[in-house]
């Protein structure tokens, strides 16, 4: 279990799902479940752009925060179809997912664009959730550690230590996304730890690395989350499919809550 008092974060990436009415209903159910709860993890909902204003409105005044799934790194201009960081800030968005493997795979995002987007998010005080993770082919060829370290280092290129206060990283093995093939908790924890070692080496600063929350993502559901959250280097979950159903996502939030309560009890004993 996380002994560093890092926050526990349960984030739902709704991907390209939900109309505005559906998004509102789902957000309402989650906000209602969160109301008045103690020991709540940081709960983040990341609907499609079209539903962001509606979900921000539903979540305002609640403990639930809203994130975007992507953004451009530039502030404005002739970039048809893109959404700029100041537009997200203007809507009241607090988080942004950067470099999801589906963006890398289908929309040509590279380590270089991830770095530009991360810098833009930090500049605009959006809390970045930067995704890293290997493909099945890379895993089978023994390249997991090299790929994850390289993606982490490239995302952080040219960033000062002082800029990383709000950084969140999500380890999402590509082969575990939407496949039902969850990465064993022990192995997910090992790679999350490797991400921290990479940060510690980059900045020659173990304390900094220990302060960065690292989430696991890839077929997270009610039946496997507890095992993941029991691991010392996994601080929460980035959830796709299971975040689209209110009851399922609420049970994931409850698992996060359970972990926080256990942590509090341990620190008192
Ligand atoms: P699934 O939970 O559907 O595997 O998706 C994970 C993911 O990609 C979250 O960003």
**For atom 5 of ligand 1, which residue has the closest CA?**
240
Question: Which member of 73, 100, 134, 138 is catalytic?
Answer: 100
Q: Is residue 197 part of a domain?
A: yes
Q: State residue 2's pLDDT score.
A: 52
178 CB less than 6 Å from ligand 1? yes
Q: Is residue 4 part of a domain?
A: no
Identify which of 99, 241, 252 to mutate to test ligand 1's pocket (most ligand atoms within 8 A of the CB): 241
**Cβ contact 208:145 at 8 Å:** no
Please confirm, yes or no, whether 160 is among the known catalytic residues: no
Gap from CA of 218 to ligand 1 centroid (Å): 5
Q: How would you write the pLDDT of the chain (269 residues) with one tens digit per residue?
A: 555 689 999 999 999 999 999 999 999 999 999 999 999 999 999 999 999 999 999 999 999 999 999 999 999 999 999 999 999 999 999 999 999 999 999 999 999 999 999 999 999 999 999 999 999 999 999 999 999 999 999 999 999 999 999 999 999 999 999 998 889 999 999 999 999 999 999 999 999 999 999 999 999 999 999 999 999 999 999 999 999 999 999 999 999 999 999 887 776 55
Gap from CA of 174 to ligand 1 centroid (Å): 9
Gap from CA of 241 to ligand 1 centroid (Å): 6
Gap from CA of 245 to ligand 1 centroid (Å): 13
pLDDT tens digits, one per residue of 161-203: 999 999 999 999 999 999 988 899 999 999 999 999 999 999 9
Please confirm, yes or no, whether 100 is among the known catalytic residues: yes
Distances (CA, A) of 99 to 63, 170, 197, 227: 26, 10, 20, 26
12 CB less than 6 Å from ligand 1? no
Q: Is residue 254 part of a domain?
A: yes
Q: Is residue 3 part of a domain?
A: no
Q: Is residue 1 part of a domain?
A: no
Q: Is residue 49 part of a domain?
A: yes
Gap from CA of 138 to ligand 1 centroid (Å): 19
Identify which of 17, 102, 132, 172 to mutate to test ligand 1's pocket (most ligand atoms within 8 A of the CB): 172
The strand pairing partners of 11, in sequence order, are: 44, 238
Identify which of 175, 217, 236 to mutate to test ligand 1's pocket (most ligand atoms within 8 A of the CB): 217
Number of domains in the chain: 1
172 CB less than 6 Å from ligand 1? yes
Q: State residue 3's pLDDT score.
A: 54
**Cβ contact 242:248 at 8 Å:** yes
Question: Containing domain of residue 79, as a range?
Answer: 9-268
Q: What are the residues whose beta carbons fall under 8 Å from the beta carbon of 59, sequence distance 6 or more?
A: 27, 31, 45, 65, 66
Q: Is residue 121 part of a domain?
A: yes
The strand pairing partners of 171, in sequence order, are: 132, 216
Q: What are the residues whose beta carbons fall under 8 Å from the beta carbon of 61, sequence distance 6 or more?
A: none
* Cα(85)–Cα(75) distance, integer angstroms: 6
The ligand 1 atom nearest the CA atom of 176: 4
Q: Is residue 249 part of a domain?
A: yes
Q: State residue 180's pLDDT score.
A: 87
Q: Say which CATH number the domain at 190 has.
A: 3.20.20.70
């Amino acid at each position: 279990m996380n002994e560093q008092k890092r926050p526990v974060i349960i984030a739902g990436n709704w991907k390209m799902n939900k109309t505005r009415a559906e998004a509102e209903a789902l957000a309402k159910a989650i906000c209602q479940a969160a109301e008045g709860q103690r020991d709540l993890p940081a709960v983040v909902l990341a609907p499609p752009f079209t539903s962001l204003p509606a979900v921000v409105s539903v979540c305002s005044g609640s403990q639930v925060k809203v994130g975007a799934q992507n953004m451009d790194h530039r502030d404005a201009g002739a970039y048809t179809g893109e959404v700029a960081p100041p537009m997200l800030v203007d809507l009241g968005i607090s988080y942004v997912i950067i470099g999801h493997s589906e963006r890398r795979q289908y929309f040509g995002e590279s380590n270089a664009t991830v770095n530009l987007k991360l810098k833009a998010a930090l500049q605009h005080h959006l809390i970045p959730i930067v995704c890293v993770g290997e493909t099945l082919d890379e895993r089978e060829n023994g390249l997991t550690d090299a790929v994850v370290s390289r993606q982490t280092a490239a995302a952080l290129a040219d960033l000062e230590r002082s800029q990383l206060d709000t950084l969140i990283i999500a380890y999402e093995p590509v082969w575990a996304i939407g496949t039902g093939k969850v990465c064993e908790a022990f192995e997910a924890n090992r790679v999350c730890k490797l991400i921290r070692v990479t940060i510690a080496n980059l900045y020659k600063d173990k304390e900094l690395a220990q302060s960065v929350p690292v989430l696991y993502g890839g077929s997270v559901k009610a039946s496997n989350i507890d095992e993941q959250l029991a691991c010392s280097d996994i601080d929460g979950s980035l959830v796709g499919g299971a975040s689209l159903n209110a009851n399922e996502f609420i049970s994931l939030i409850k698992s996060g809550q359970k972990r926080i309560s256990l942590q509090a009890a341990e620190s008192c004993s």
